[in-house]
A and B are shown apart, each in its own frame.
Chain A
Amino acid sequence: MNPLILGLVTGVIFGFLLQKGRVLRFEKQLGALRLQDFTIIKFMLSSILVGMFGLLILQQAGWIALSHKPFNVGAVVIGGALFGVGWAIAGYCPGTSVGAVGEGRWHALFAIAGMLAGAALFAEAYPWLKTTVLAWKDFGKIGLPDLLGINPWWCALGLAVLYLGLFVWFERRRL
C-alpha cells in the first residue's frame, strides 16, 4: 500500500474518533485547562492505556520498534511550557485545530495560520537554538522502564493502576 493512502485512511479514522469523543471543541480544550471539564483527560488516558499495552505486546514480539523522542531537558521544558501558554490562548493544539475546522469551527483556521508561522519562525531560530537551549543537556531516547531500571511490563502495570485509579476518581467526583 502507498504510505500516503495509509496516512490518509489512518487520519480519517483518527479525526472521526476525535470528533465523536467531542475533544475538538474549544470549550473542551479550555475546560480541561480550567480544570472544569475532564473529557480530554479521560480521552487521552484511555487511548494511552490501550495503546501502551498494544505497543508493548507488538514491541516484545519484535514486530515494531519503539521510538522515544529524546529527553533534551531545556528543549522539552521550555518548549513544553511555551506550548502550554500558546495552547491556552489559541484553544487548540495542532491536531485538534485541523479537526475543529472540519467540524465548522473556522476560527481555528487562524490558529493553523499562526502554527504555520510558528513553525517557519522555529526553522529560522533553529541554528541559534542548536547552540544554546538544545545543547544544554540531552538524556537521549529513554523510556521510563530504563530510567527506573524495571521490567517494562511492571512499569506498564503500575501506570495502568494509576490511570484506572484516576478514572475511578473522575467518576466518583463526577468530573
Chain B
Amino acid sequence: MSASSDSKGWSPYLAGALVGLLAVLSAAATTKVMGKTNFLGASTTFVRAAGLIEKAVVPSHVENNEYMAKEKVRVDWQFMLVLGILLGASLASRLDGSFSWEAVPPIWKERFGPSPAVRALGAFVGGLVAMFGARLADGCPSGHGLSGLMQMSVSGFVALALFFGAGVLTAHWLYGGKQS
C-alpha cells in the first residue's frame, strides 16, 4: 500500500487489541451502570431502527409484531453505540486525512462497472440478505464474532465459521479466484 492515507493506519494487531480492551472495560461499565452485562454488538440496532421507521408510518403494525415486541423498539445503549461507531470513524478519518467521499469502490468498479446505481443495488441486496441472516443467527461479526469468541461461545465459533465460509464462496463466485 503506497497511498499516503494508509501510512497513518495502525497495525491491525494493535487496533484489535485495543478493541479487546474496550470490550472488557465496556462489559464492566455496562454491568455497573445498567446492572446487566452488555456485550459489543450491532445488528439488533437495525431491528430497532427499522421498527422506529415503521412506527412513524404504521404504529399498530409494529405493536402487533411479535419480534419487534421481543426486541423492544427504542433507542438504547447499543443504538447509541452504533451511532458512536459512525462518529468515531468520522473523527479518526478526518484527523488523519483518510476521509474520502466514495460512490463506487475500485474493486467493484473493475468487476461491475462505474455505475453508482448498480453499486447501490448491490449494497442494498447484499445488506438485506446479510441482515436477515444475522437476525436468524442472532448476531453479526460483532455480536457473534467478537463478543461470542471472547466468551468462548459455541454459537460464536459456528456462526463465524459460516460467515466466512459462505462469504469466501460467494466472493469467489462474484470476483473469481484471480489475484488482483
* Real binding pair: yes
Closest B residue, CB atoms, query A171: B13
The reply to whether B123 and A46 form a contact with Cβ atoms under 8 Å apart is: no
Q: Which of B83, B85, B133, B154 contacts A80 (CB 8 A)?
A: B133
Please report the number of residue pairs spanning A and B whose Cβ atoms sit closer than 8 angstroms.
533
Q: Which of B29, B39, B108 contacts A6 (CB 8 A)?
A: B29
A49 to chain B, nearest CB (A): 7
Chain A residues bordering chain B, tally (CB within 8 A): 126
The reply to whether B150 and A34 form a contact with Cβ atoms under 8 Å apart is: no
Q: In the complex, which residues 51-84 of chain A have their Cβ closer than 8 Å to any Cβ of chain B? A: 51-52, 54-55, 58, 63-72, 75-84
A121 to chain B, nearest CB (A): 6
The reply to whether A27 and B105 form a contact with Cβ atoms under 8 Å apart is: yes
Q: Which of B53, B127, B138, B168 contacts A97 (CB 8 A)?
A: B127
If A80-B162, A105-B105 touch, whether A64 touches B27 (CB-CB below 8 Å) is yes
- 20 A-B interface contacts by CB (under 8 A): A5-B80, A16-B88, A26-B105, A33-B167, A46-B19, A48-B20, A50-B21, A69-B139, A71-B153, A75-B138, A84-B166, A84-B170, A87-B167, A88-B171, A91-B105, A94-B130, A94-B134, A95-B140, A115-B128, A122-B47
The reply to whether B163 and A156 form a contact with Cβ atoms under 8 Å apart is: no
Residues of chain B contacted by A70 (CB below 8 angstroms):
138, 155
Q: 4 closest A-B pairs (Cβ-Cβ)? A: A11-B84, A15-B88, A84-B166, A114-B127
Cα distance A37–B130 when bound, in Å? 21
Residues of chain A contacted by B139 (CB below 8 angstroms):
69
Residues of chain A contacted by B15 (CB below 8 angstroms):
17-18, 20-23, 43, 46
The reply to whether B138 and A83 form a contact with Cβ atoms under 8 Å apart is: no
Contact with B along A96-135 (1 / 0, CB 8 A): 0111111111111111111111111111111101100110
The reply to whether B9 and A11 form a contact with Cβ atoms under 8 Å apart is: no
Q: Given contact pairs A93-B140, A106-B102, enumerate 18 new A-B contacts (beta carbons under 8 Å).
A: A13-B84, A14-B40, A15-B90, A15-B92, A42-B16, A43-B19, A66-B151, A71-B153, A72-B138, A79-B138, A83-B134, A94-B43, A94-B141, A110-B123, A114-B124, A118-B129, A119-B50, A119-B131
Q: In the complex, which residues 144-159 of chain B have their Cβ closer than 8 Å to any Cβ of chain A? A: 144-159
Residues of chain B contacted by A122 (CB below 8 angstroms):
47, 67, 131-132, 135-136
B179, CB-defined interface residue at 8 Å: yes
If A94-B131, A111-B123 touch, whether A103 touches B87 (CB-CB below 8 Å) is no
Cα distance A175–B179 when bound, in Å? 13
